[in-house]
Amino acid sequence: MDIKNFSGAKNSLRHKVTLKKGLLTKTSNLFKVCKKGIKNVSGRSLATGHITIRHKGHGVKNLFRFINFNNYCYFAIIICILYDPNRTSFINLNFNLFSNCFFYTLSTHLVPTGTLLLCHFDNVEIKLGYRMLLKSIPIGSIINSLSLNNQTVKYIRSAGTFGVVIEQNSGFCKIKLPSNKILIVSSLSTFASIGTISNIQNNLQCLGKAGSNRLRGIRPSVRGIAMNPVDHPHGGRTNGGRTPVTPWGKITRGQTTRKKI
């Protein structure tokens, strides 16, 4: 995927950098049956209208694509590669040759249209895009879409990310996540796909203006010290050397915010 730069004729285009999506398939009436529901981030309670999530609201409505994050067996062919506004990576529209149905999966880098995909519990050939148990994946392999204990995919789903199998022994496997954390999982009930998640140049994009973020449902973030005392504990002329806290008074310095794995 190539990088597209804009000329500096307008202030909103001077710093904008996007990806050329000419290789992706445009939507048509054939693919509308795979889109269900509308995703619109409001950040407010449906009952009271009060703000429940800060810095979210407005934005355009997006049709939500249900991605297959399960591990049931399939033998499918990639019909096309599409853009999904709800995630950073691209998605594949696949046709299952076993059940004769369409379904979406996360796209793997360097896996083109027309490629056959396979997901199975038994030992299968190691190919890009294939999905299998960790016991069938050799040490040093690059993987993505990791699911623990035969559950849905939980890890390594963002654009350009990948994990590495670093050790296999006695039914357990050590996986190095994109965050450099070592995860010990069961190799007999954990599935993973071979390769790297698509859209590896996603981090090179630049929106160029604040309005692009508003269209994505992201509202401005204001510093607490720039507010009034009634709006934030840091509000007023100065914070007076106070320990940094959240808008609700909880200390933030030294507190872990990451979820436990």
Query: Tell me, what DSSP letter sits at residue 107?
Result: P
In the chain, % of residues over pLDDT 90 = 51
Q: How confident is the model at residue 194 (pLDDT cuts 50, 70, 90)?
A: very high
Give residue limits of the domains in the chain: 3-202
> Selecting from 2.70.98.30, 3.40.50.620, 2.40.50.140, 2.30.30.30, what CATH number does the domain 3-202 have?
2.30.30.30
Which one, of 121, 148, 146, 119, lies nearest residue 131 by Cα?
Answer: 119
pLDDT tens per residue across span 106-151: 999 999 999 999 998 887 789 999 999 999 999 999 999 999 888 8
At 121 the pLDDT is 86
DSSP line for 207-225 = --SHHHHHHTTB-----GG
Query: For 53-57, 184-188, 235-239, 249-253, which range has the lowest pLDDT when averaged over its residues?
Result: 235-239
Q: What is the pLDDT of residue 257?
A: 73
Q: What is the pLDDT of residues 152-181, one digit of tens each?
A: 999 999 999 999 999 998 889 999 999 999
Q: What is the rounded average pLDDT for all residues in the chain? A: 88
Strand partners, 19: 3
- pTM for the model: 0.85
Mean pLDDT of 12-32: 80
Write down the pLDDT at residue 32. 63
Which two tokens mark 210? 């604040």
From 154, 166, 94, select the one nearest 130 (Cα to Cα).
94
